[in-house]
Chain A
Amino acid sequence: MIGWLDVPRGWLDAFGEIARFGSRVAGLVYSGRVMRYFGESLRQAGILIFGSALVVWAFVFILGLQCGVIGAYFNRSIGAPSLAGLFSAYCDLREGLPYAFGYILSAKVGTGIVAELGAMRISDEIDALEVMGIQPVTFLAATRLLGAWIAIPFLYLVGVGVAYFASYLAVVDQVGDVSSGGYLLIFWTYQDFVDVLFSLAKGMVMTTVIVLVGCYYGYTASGGPVGVGTATAKSMVVNIIMVHIIGMLGTFMFYGANPRAPIGG
């Protein structure tokens, strides 16, 4: 049985280890040593796209619907149903999308990496790699990070489009307080390209952290088949907290001093 303070303590313990492991992996990617296995990186990017894209987009679609419904009813309640585009522009792009992306990525990709690498560790395949003269951290962790950096921006930008489409469906077709043109006018007024970049930056930082956490827990898994399951569960705890903290810090950094809204002077 676990105690009341075990989760925060374990999280603090893991944090330093993950930071060290993560900086090592990121260093391998930045120094270009991962380029020796560039083919493997492309393969990992392909796995991400074919294995996770549909799930991610389906999740983002539901979030877009939810943002649209909440926004449409909220703006009806303040007597300005035509401004529903304001709420859904903020909810989709600035806040909701990075969080939804972080959730589903930590669920699908993060735990997937832990399960895969953990199984390799348990069946001694990682040791076998080392014996064969292949750097396991470079070959397994760094290629996955590079693969994620190659594939995720495109997944994310398509996800933005999917969420916009879902919000449009919810506001204009489902609730129907505002016409299509009125919605789109407000919707596009309250965002610009810089907002997309900010949102993408949040999403990419989350992706990096999730992949690194997954690689760390998979790489250090121990204790037989049961250990892999426990490591997977633990990685999820860290990911959930990190996603929220990154989202909050991103909002502080990008919008804390400047709401970036086209109102007044």
Chain B
Amino acid sequence: MMILTARTVIAAVRPPYPYGEELVGQFLFVLKLSWFPMTISTFALCLGAPGLQAAGILSLFGNLDRLGGFFVVTAVRFIGPIVTAAVVAGVAGTAITADLGARKIREELDALQVLGVDPIKNLVVPRFLALMVITGLLDIFAVVFGMSAGIAAELLYHQPLGGFFSTLFANALITDLAASVAMCSMFGAIIAVVCCYKGMTASGGPAGVGRAVNQAVVIAFMGVFAFLYVFTTVLLATNPELQAIR
């Protein structure tokens, strides 16, 4: 997989660039697959976990307006990236593995090589770049829907929204959002490499593609979560300004 990563990056920057059309196609493909699960998942997770649980505790103290500050911590730093990664890996990554695995089983990849077309440059690079870009963008989507879940939680507790928004904007930093988006772009890269690798090395008849998808999504989840933990630790330890609630 490391070799595939290196070859993908080299193929991405070295001219010629024949993958423009495929890049746009993959971008739209992932977006069309992911937008619906993304909306429902983020809204549900943010309404349940930080929304109701935290609002329950805060309402005991009578300071529900503090929910805005809490949502910056959870929705931007934690839940947005997690849901984005889970949806992109589960929905788009599996589709990519199934697609490439099918081509491998039907020997289309070998045919491409015989025709002198580099499969890495023409198949892997556009998926890699498209997933990197769109995972970062979907993270913003996730944050928006997470915030609307926070608003819904406030409304469920019959609170005015002014307090929510004032603590939300007082605590929201550009560093948080930028880190969240950067982290998600890296998630996209991890997912793309794992899924393309598993798809391109699928073998073993009818069970092969299914098994490749299974392994791809498990490895992608483990890689993404391990990366999430390391990234969060480094981010919080090196940016003390994130550690103050205003």
Contacts and interface: CB of A to CB of B under 8 A. Distances in A.
Contacts of A11: 36
A8 B36 contact: yes
Nearest to B40: A241
A169 to B, nearest CB: 11
Interface in B9-61: 25, 29, 32-33, 35-37, 40-41, 44-45, 47-49, 52-53, 56-57, 59-61
A65 B229 contact: yes
B74 to A, nearest CB: 8
A119 interface: yes
B98 interface: yes
A248 B36 contact: no
A62 B225 contact: yes
Contacts, number: 206
B170 interface: no
A58 B214 contact: no
B232 A116 contact: no
B206 A95 contact: no
A111 B36 contact: no
B23 to A, nearest CB: 15
Given A226-B105, A240-B87, A263 B57 contact: yes
A197 B52 CA distance: 19
B229 A119 contact: no
A232 B25 CA distance: 22
A115 B236 contact: no
Given A115-B214, A247-B45, A261-B60, A228 B207 contact: yes
Contacts of A174: 233
A7 B37 contact: yes
Question: Which of B25, B74, B225, B236 has the most C-beta atoms of chain A within 10 angstroms of its own C-beta?
Answer: B225
Contact of A1 (B29, B37, B52): B29
19 contacts: A2-B33, A7-B33, A59-B222, A66-B78, A73-B242, A103-B90, A106-B90, A108-B218, A111-B217, A114-B214, A118-B207, A229-B101, A236-B213, A240-B41, A244-B41, A245-B44, A251-B53, A255-B56, A261-B56
B135 to A, nearest CB: 15
B210 A255 contact: no
A228 B243 contact: no
Interface string B186-230: 000000000000000010011111111110011001100110110
B230 to A, nearest CB: 10
A158 interface: no
Contacts of A69: 229, 232-233, 236
Contacts of B70: 74
B242 to A, nearest CB: 8
Given A4-B32, A255-B53, A62 B206 contact: no
Contacts of B225: 59, 62-63, 66
Contact of B232 (A70, A247, A259): A70
Interface residues of B, number: 67
Interface of A: 1-4, 6-8, 11, 55, 58-59, 62-63, 65-66, 69-70, 73-74, 76-78, 86, 90, 94-96, 99, 103-104, 106-108, 111-112, 114-116, 118-119, 122-123, 174, 224-226, 228-233, 236-237, 239-241, 244-245, 247-248, 250-252, 255-256, 258-261, 263-264
Interface in B98-116: 98-99, 101-102, 105-106
Given A229-B209, A229-B213, A236 B91 contact: yes
B178 interface: no
A29 to B, nearest CB: 24
B77 interface: yes
B130 interface: no
Interface string B124-141: 000000000000000000
A70 B89 CA distance: 23
